[in-house]
Amino acid sequence: MTIQPFTPLGAEIYQQGVRAVSVETARQTPRLKSTTFIEASADLRKLVRDDIFEVLLCRNGSVLEGMTSNFYVIQAGALITSRSGILLGVTRRTLIRLARKAGLEVEYRAPDLDEPFSEAFLTSSSRGVVPIVAIDGKPVGKGKVGAWTKTLIAAYNTYVEKYSQEIQFYENGRRR
C-alpha cells in the first residue's frame, strides 16, 4: 500500500489545462492496480515535471490511458475512450454517464495520436476532470480548454458535491 498526503490541484489547472507526453507502453495487467506497475513505471514517472502533468500510455500509436488516469478525447460530438487495455475507474464510469446526459455520444476505442482531437482530458478520483491542452508539444484543438470539457468539469463537480459525504475521523473511539 502506498499512502501520500492529498494536495488538491489549483484552480489554474482546470482553467488553463495541462500538457501530457505519450509513450509506447501499456500495463501488463491493466485491470489490476498493482505494485508491479508502480515499480515498472519508475522511469516513466521521471517524465512528469513542471511542464508535463501526465504520461499517456499508448499501444500502436493509440492512447489507452494515462499512467495515473483515464484518458478521453472529444471529436465531432462524441466522447472517445478506450474500453480495453485500461484500468477501469469509478470516476470514469461516472464521467461517461454525465457525458451521455450532457448530449455526447460515447465511442469506445483507443483514439489514435494522429487524429485531430477537438478536446482531450483525463480523469481520476483524486483530481476529477483535468483538461489537456497539448500532447507531445502539439496543441489539442485550439490549445485551450474546450467547451465540452468545461461542461463536464462542472457536471462532475456538481455530482461530487451532491453525492459526497463528510468523512468523520475518530481517534481512540472519539470523534475528532
Cα 134 off chain centre by: 14
- Mean of pLDDT values over 9-32: 82
Give the mean model confidence (pLDDT) for residues 63-81.
Answer: 95
Query: How much is the pLDDT for 122?
Result: 97
Under the banding of pLDDT at 50, 70 and 90, the label for residue 7 is: confident
Angle separating helix axes 147-163 and 90-102, nearest 10 degrees: 120
Higher pLDDT, 111 or 38: 111
pLDDT at 167 over 80: no
Cβ atoms within 10 Å of 77's Cβ, excluding its own? 10
pLDDT at 59 over 60: yes
- pLDDT for 97 beyond 50: yes
Within the chain, where are the H helices? 11-16, 35-40, 42-45, 90-102, 147-163
Residue 32 has a pLDDT of 47
- 23 with 60: CB under 8 angstroms? no
Q: Is the pLDDT of residue 90 over 70?
A: yes
Among candidate residues 81, 68, 56, 58, the one with its CA nearest the CA of residue 135: 56
CA–CA separation, 47 and 77 (whole Å): 32
> Domains in the chain, please, with CATH?
11-160 (3.20.10.10)
What is the reported pLDDT for 85?
83
Predicted pLDDT at 158: 96
Per-residue pLDDT, 84: 87
